[in-house]
A and B are shown apart, each in its own frame.
Chain A
Amino acid sequence: MESLDHNFSAHSADRSGTTWQMRQDWHVTARWARFMAIVAFVTAGISLIGMIGMSSALEQMMLLGGMDNPVLGAMLSQKALFAGIILVVVGVQVAVNLFQFRFANRMKEALQFTDQTALEDAWLQFSNFFKWTGIMIIGFIALYFVLLIFLFASLATMGG
């Protein structure tokens, strides 16, 4: 016969409660998650500024004597495409990290004010952060393989 208190720990909550150690770990996790989200937002901002600056830099390089440079010419002609790709990547990065930022804020609220609703919302945001990061990674891997296939197909066509 199972002992009635075999899972009882004198210093931990019942099975549906949180323990002090858990809350401490969540507090530290939330602080680092907030930091990582802010770094991601700043990186996205710098990427956008870099994208604007890159276009001007390429045009300057062409004027300074690269008029017959095929690579520079190709990059300038596809300026809109590159800008679009960078915008999409930056947009996805910001959207995904917004979940992480919300998780950090809601967890801080939950722990500070013992707010059950904030705690549930925090874990929902964290779950969404992991889910959309995973979907983004799958998308990038698929895109990578598609580009590889196109590259090999182009090389095969050129060689043939």
Chain B
Amino acid sequence: MDNPNQPLDTDLPDSEGKQSGLRITSSIRSHWHATSRWALFFAVLGFLYLGLLVFSLLSIASLSTGNLGGTEVTVMIFMLLLIGVLVFIPTWFMFQFSQNIQKGVSNNDLHATETGFSFLKRFYQFIGILTVIVLGFYALLLLFMFIGFAAR
């Protein structure tokens, strides 16, 4: 669906029939191809890590009848599930970026390329927002520490 904010003549040729603006050259395609292969590597590492998390979850669940109490097990399972979700989302975006860019470059498929870059954008947005949240927590922690020291 077209973006209503997009200028009407953005992608049309100019009066001489030349496509003005930025072009996708063969060197850019080769950079994209190399990038998509490394992106696939990162996605595979992410999925491997998720597999380890699932293994840890199952181990903790099997230990629940042992020395650990119910509350502790619940907290650990909750933390692992949260970490799992936070790892899965960017890994999935990275995987989709890789697959779509590879398809776009191999088949000269503009739609796949667009989709790929959309996933890359979403990956960066997610990681960026997560980073801002973590930095916010650190700032709050430092603030409470300073307040605690000042109160003494």
Contact = CB atoms under 8 A, between A and B. Distances in A.
The finding on whether chains A and B are genuine partners in a shared complex, rather than unrelated, reads: yes
Interface of A: 9, 11-26, 28-29, 32-33, 35-36, 39, 110-111, 114, 116, 119-120, 123-124, 126-127, 130-131, 133-134, 137
A141 B3 CA distance: 44
A17 B24 contact: yes
Max chain A Cβ within 10 angstroms of own Cβ: one of B2, B6, B110, B127 = B110
A32 B22 CA distance: 21
Interface residues of B, number: 38
Contacts of A127: 31-32, 34-35
B15 to A, nearest CB: 16
Interface string B1-35: 01100110011000000011111110110011011
B120 interface: yes
Given A39-B135, A123-B31, A18 B124 contact: no
A29 to B, nearest CB: 5
Contacts of B20: 114
B146 to A, nearest CB: 17
A19 B38 contact: no
A120 B113 contact: no
